[in-house]
Chain A
Amino acid sequence: MNESPPGRLLPWALVTPALLWTLVFFVLPFIAMAALSFLEHGGGQATFDNYRQFLDNPSYWRAMVNSLEVTLTVTAISVLLAYPFAWILAEVVPQRLQRLALVLAILPFWTSYVVRSYSWLLVLAQNGVVNRALVGSGLVDAPLQLANTRAATIIGFVHFFVMLLTLTIFANLKQLSPSYRRAAADLGAGPLRTFLHVILPLTLPGIMVGAFLTFVLAIGDYITPQILGGNNELLMPQLIMMQIGRRGDFPLASALAIILMLVVTLAYLLCARWLKIERA
């Protein structure tokens, strides 16, 4: 039976606010930014020069390489730490305490991102807790340079993203029916084999979703590398901001932002293909 015209229009009416929102606050600004990236700074003439600068200038390239190195490292470490944490929450912590454990796990989310980054700076500083403990215990003779390094940026990121990944993996683990494990055991698989051949593949979507979110959020983040990295190297968001500060070079900043977005899109396509969630 054919739907009546009002019936067919209803879904459109329901999604129209979301579509309008996306159009006004994402699509149109994106088009404006893309158009701006092809303009000369100050002159308004059309040019490819902003993109050419990225290709020609090794410092700009380096920013992209730095961003990828940092982001991939953060994603890998976060997954390795989050998985056992999620496993413990889902399998070891009693059901009645799981909610409380989850709340405790996400507590750091409740503080300001900036405050958290500055707190890490103090913890990792020359006179901070970590260095005092290392020197006090005799493990090192003099304080190590921990703050204002790439390692500090990675620590700040990992602290944040482990929680995010824990939540996505935990949700995935909780959805797994116990029958899978029982069936594997019936077929003679030990715990390790069950984990490697049954549990891990089934929780891969949760890992990939969390890993992709981590990658996207980390590669576009300005605050953490700016506060914790000590500007000893530039990442893409810092390079973009640098074009705006004094010179107000919005066309070059737009071109760099588009390039960063292309990398994120590529990451999405890689994840989507690997998870086979794209439509045939």
Chain B
Amino acid sequence: MKSILKQHSRASAIATAALAIFVASPALSQDLNALIWCDHADPALLQPFEEANGVKVNVKEFEGTGAGLALVEQSQPGDWDVMVIDSIDVSRGVEKGLFEPLPEDQLPFADLFPEVKMDSSTVVDGKRYGITEKFGYNTIGFNNTKVDVADMQSMASLTDPKYKGRIAIYDYYLPVIGMAAMSLGKKTADLTDADLPAISDVLMKMKANAKLVGEVTASQTALATGEVDILVGGGEWVTAGLAKENPALDFSIPKEGAVLWSQALAMFKDSKNKDLALKFIQYILSPEGQARLATSSCYWGMPANSKAALTDEQKKTLRFDEQPAFLARAQAYPAPSAELDKKMQDIWTGMLQAQ
């Protein structure tokens, strides 16, 4: 009996040690560890890079900058090499001392749509820490067989009783608050505490018309299945990927404009594979990488690089040729201070709780 116990405890000790080694082992040095959004998890995007460089890209998906930064804080320095982040939040990572300046001369900045470079948030103290890779609009997504398309040219329709119960609201407070502000003629970049009561009124009116407030999948599903006819905050990221199955799904940039979303890539200061990380960023920003990222299976969006190798059909679906006009009418995400951000989230919470 004793010998059996001894044998078992030895086996357990070996198993425990093996498990500890397995858990504690860092990824192979030639692995690239990337904190990403779901669009970067598409094998069609990653495989060409992995095969060309003989490396493995390990990805960890997250949603929301706060959750992403928390993942970094819970990791060891050097665990991660690159991160996808809202362009407007690059400076938050820089403030925490996380990111490495990017070599502008080795990246295709000249080919980017000028409006999406977002220097105000990606450049800190003269150094660039993030490069925009993909963008699009939080605007009005709709089913053009179910609504009066002319109505979709004005945000006033979103609070019109005509569409009561036929609207879904995308559950992310910054862009929808941006849209509410624009409907009041305010600029998203200039929002202050004083603007919040009026914005809250607009949100309440939208809620009164809404059937649901949903995150990406829920709102996309609601529009695609006909549960609702309009998605506040929708855009090409909802409609383009479904264009083949449901060509009636469309989006407008109303007369008041739209909110421009953009996501950027940043490199970690403590990365142990900075050369490989830079190669990855170069690949994603290359015409081929941009086309694959733009049409990722998770969601489509406009490539930041105007020379992205998209097919004519893909360009048509993304309304590529209309971008100069769209960008001229778009305003960036609100980029509030931490204090204003909290207040914005609170009025959003109030809207969600309103009956």
Whether the Cβ atoms of A231 and B352 lie closer than 8 Å is: yes
Proximity string of chain A (117-133) to chain B, C-beta cutoff 8 Å, 1 when within and 0 when not = 00001100111000000
Q: How many A-B residue pairs have CB under 8 A?
A: 93
Whether the Cβ atoms of A234 and B63 lie closer than 8 Å is: no
- Give Cα A59–Cα B350 distance, bound, in whole angstroms: 6
- Give Cα A145–Cα B349 distance, bound, in whole angstroms: 23
B76 at the interface (CB under 8 A from A): no
Whether the Cβ atoms of A234 and B214 lie closer than 8 Å is: no
Residues of B within 8 A of A63 (CB): 353
Partner-contacting stretch, out of B105-113, B275-283, B340-348:
B340-348
Report B233 CB to chain A, min CB distance, Å.
13
Which of A148, A231, A232, A245 contacts B66 (CB under 8 A)? A245
Proximity string of chain B (1-28) to chain A, C-beta cutoff 8 Å, 1 when within and 0 when not = 0000000000000000000000000000
Whether the Cβ atoms of A242 and B227 lie closer than 8 Å is: no
A147 at the interface (CB under 8 A from B): yes
Residues of B within 8 A of A205 (CB): none
> Which residues of A in the span 211-239 have a Cβ within 8 Å of any Cβ on B?
226-227, 230-234, 239
Whether the Cβ atoms of B353 and A248 lie closer than 8 Å is: no
A57, A58, A59, A250: residue with the most chain B Cβ atoms closer than 10 Å: A59
Q: A59-B349, A147-B227 are in contact. Are A42 and B211 (CB under 8 A)?
A: no
Residues of A within 8 A of B355 (CB): 232-233
Residues of B within 8 A of A231 (CB): 171, 212-215, 218, 352
Residues of A within 8 A of B126 (CB): none
Proximity string of chain B (311-355) to chain A, C-beta cutoff 8 Å, 1 when within and 0 when not = 000000000000000000000000000100110011001101101
- Give Cα A60–Cα B214 distance, bound, in whole angstroms: 19
- Give Cα A226–Cα B350 distance, bound, in whole angstroms: 17
Whether the Cβ atoms of A62 and B353 lie closer than 8 Å is: yes
Whether the Cβ atoms of A126 and B345 lie closer than 8 Å is: no
- Give Cα A245–Cα B214 distance, bound, in whole angstroms: 14
A247 at the interface (CB under 8 A from B): yes
B67 at the interface (CB under 8 A from A): yes
Residues of B within 8 A of A247 (CB): 66, 338, 341-342, 345
Whether the Cβ atoms of B353 and A233 lie closer than 8 Å is: yes
A244 at the interface (CB under 8 A from B): yes
- Give Cα A57–Cα B174 distance, bound, in whole angstroms: 20
Q: A42-B338, A126-B226 are in contact. Are A233 and B211 (CB under 8 A)?
A: no
Q: A248-B65, A250-B70 are in contact. Are A127 and B352 (CB under 8 A)?
A: no
Whether the Cβ atoms of B66 and A230 lie closer than 8 Å is: no
B222, B227, B345: residue with the most chain A Cβ atoms closer than 10 Å: B227
Q: Binding site of B, secondary structure by majority: helix, strand, loop or mixed?
A: helix
Q: A125-B227, A145-B165, A147-B227 are in contact. Are A233 and B218 (CB under 8 A)?
A: no
Report B20 CB to chain A, min CB distance, Å.
14
Report A192 CB to chain B, min CB distance, Å.
42
Report B206 CB to chain A, min CB distance, Å.
13
B69 at the interface (CB under 8 A from A): yes
Q: In the complex, which range does the number of interface residues on chain B fall in?
A: 20 to 34
Whether the Cβ atoms of A232 and B212 lie closer than 8 Å is: yes
B185 at the interface (CB under 8 A from A): no
B225 at the interface (CB under 8 A from A): yes
Report A170 CB to chain B, min CB distance, Å.
36
Residues of B within 8 A of A244 (CB): 64, 66-67, 70
Proximity string of chain B (222-249) to chain A, C-beta cutoff 8 Å, 1 when within and 0 when not = 1001110000000000000000000000
Report B264 CB to chain A, min CB distance, Å.
15
Q: In the complex, which range does the number of interface residues on chain A fall in?
A: 20 to 34
Report B171 CB to chain A, min CB distance, Å.
6
Whether the Cβ atoms of A248 and B70 lie closer than 8 Å is: yes
A246 at the interface (CB under 8 A from B): yes
Closest B residue, CB atoms, query A249:
B66
> Which residues of A in the span 16-30 have a Cβ within 8 Å of any Cβ on B?
none
- Give Cα A58–Cα B249 distance, bound, in whole angstroms: 38
Q: A248-B66, A249-B66 are in contact. Are A126 and B227 (CB under 8 A)?
A: yes
Whether the Cβ atoms of B341 and A60 lie closer than 8 Å is: no
Report A152 CB to chain B, min CB distance, Å.
10
Residues of B within 8 A of A122 (CB): 225
Whether the Cβ atoms of B352 and A234 lie closer than 8 Å is: yes
Whether the Cβ atoms of B70 and A60 lie closer than 8 Å is: no
Residues of B within 8 A of A126 (CB): 225-227
Residues of A participating in the B interface, judged by any CB pair closer than 8 Å: 41-42, 57-60, 62-63, 66, 121-122, 125-127, 145, 147-148, 226-227, 230-234, 239, 242, 244-250
Residues of B participating in the A interface, judged by any CB pair closer than 8 Å: 63-67, 69-70, 165, 171-174, 210-215, 218, 221-222, 225-227, 338, 341-342, 345-346, 349-350, 352-353, 355
Q: A-B pairs with the 5 shortest C-beta distances?
A: A248-B66, A230-B212, A245-B64, A231-B213, A148-B212
Instruction: Pick 17 A–B contacts, CB within 8 A, sort by A.
Output: A59-B352, A63-B353, A126-B225, A231-B212, A231-B218, A232-B212, A232-B352, A232-B355, A233-B353, A242-B345, A245-B64, A246-B66, A246-B172, A246-B173, A246-B345, A247-B345, A249-B342
